[in-house]
Amino acid sequence: MFRRVGHWRWLTIFAVCNLLLWVGIAIAVGLAAGDQVDLGVETFIRQHRATAVAVWDQAVTRTSGFLSHPTPGDMVLEPVEAEAPAEKPLIATARPQAPAPPAPAHAPTQIALQPSSPTAQPPSAATSLPEPAETPVRSPLLLADPELKNLDRLNAELGRSATGRAVQIRYQEDALNREVAALLENNPNLPYQHVQVDLKRDRVVVTGIANVMGFPLSTEVVGSVAIQDCLPQIEVQSVSVAGVLTPGFVQDRIKEMLLDVVAWYPADYPLCLQQIVLEDGRATVYGFRR
């Protein structure tokens, strides 16, 4: 009987102790999981979790910065108040810092494209500077026996002459006949050949062969040269064919041919003619630069 009572008593004591053990374990687990008691384990786990999250976010931010932005801000860990009063866990917050250090050799190369803008360059010694403008020449221009077929010298002098510069051109009779012969040789289609010019005072006598109505006629023309509106004009005084005076229509035809001789002078030529003085064996042309 005593053994039975002892046996049940021990079972009861064992059951009560077992119950108390599990109740204590439950209370300890509740206290550890709650915010009332801080055993350090939860703080340790939260700190390591926050640190791992911050490192991960920082790596993601730098990677995206290499792909989109030249210099992203770094992730900085700052203490922030937590809901639990016993501990202040670390939470990752973004704050712009100084530019990140250069990427390692294995990192992707960062290329920053900048728009090109024109910048002023200092002039080099090889740069050619514009030549100063030549001062127009105003002193009188004197030419003697210039070639009629090549007036480059006259054109060059007129090109650097000031407006109003006086020009004087002299022709000796022999030089003038040479120029007329060269002009006829270079233009064989002209209706006259073997032309000779005899310079007299205030008049000129021109002899030669003129083709009038298809007939070559020995012709002599006496006339003078005048100036009108800067252009030369021929004034015919008499026309004779084979030593005799010719009819009016023949004279008119010869006058037209003579007018064609002076028609080559351009109306807009820079040299404005003023006067032509005829002397024995010499002719002098006076004019100025327009």
Give the Cα separation of 47 and 25 in Å (integer): 26
Q: Are 204 and 170 in contact (CB under 8 A)?
A: no
For residue 196, what pLDDT is reported? Answer: 94
The predicted pLDDT at position 37 comes to 53
List the single range of 114-128, 239-253, 267-281 with lowest mean pLDDT. 114-128
Q: What is the C-alpha separation between 49 and 60, in angstroms, rounded? A: 17
Predicted confidence band of residue 288 (pLDDT cuts 50, 70, 90) = very high
Rounded Cα gap, residues 55 and 77, in angstroms: 9
Give 243-247 contacts, CB < 8 A, sequence gap 24+. Answer: 243/218
73-131, pLDDT tens digit by residue? 444 444 444 444 444 444 444 454 545 555 544 444 444 444 444 444 444 444 444 55
Residue of higher predicted confidence among 2 and 185: 185
Q: Look at the block and give the residue holding tokens 């005829």.
A: 278
Output the pLDDT for position 51: 73
Distance of CA 182 to the CA centre of its chain: 49
Q: What is the mean pLDDT of residues 144-163?
A: 87
Q: Is the pLDDT of residue 279 over 80?
A: yes
pLDDT at position 160 over 60: yes
Domain residue spans in the chain? 2-94, 141-289
Alpha-carbon gap, residue 235 to 203, rounded angstroms: 10
Give this prediction's pTM.
0.52
Determine contact, residues 74/97, Cβ cutoff 8 Å.
Answer: yes
pLDDT higher than threshold 70 for residue 239: yes
What is the per-residue pLDDT for 270? Answer: 93
For residue 32, the model assigns a pLDDT of: 62
Alpha-carbon span 189 to 257, nearest angstrom: 13
Alpha carbon 220 to chain centroid, angstroms: 64
SS (H, E, C) 160-216: CECCCCEEEEEEEHHHHHHHHHHHHHHCCCCCEEEEEEEEECCEEEEEEEEEECCEE
Which ranges in 34-109 belong to alpha helices (H)? 41-68
Q: What confidence category does residue 38 fall into, taking pLDDT thresholds of 50, 70 and 90?
A: low
pLDDT: is 33 or 158 the higher one? Answer: 158
DSSP letter at 217 equals E
**What's the sign of the alpha-carbon dihedral 35, 40, 41, 44?**
positive
Of the candidates 181, 249, 251, the one whose C-alpha atom is nearest the C-alpha of residue 220 is: 251
- What percent of the chain shows pLDDT beyond 70? 63
Cα separation, 47 vs 239, in Å, equals 131
Tens of pLDDT along 172-198? 999 999 988 988 888 888 888 899 999
Average confidence (pLDDT) over 246-257: 78
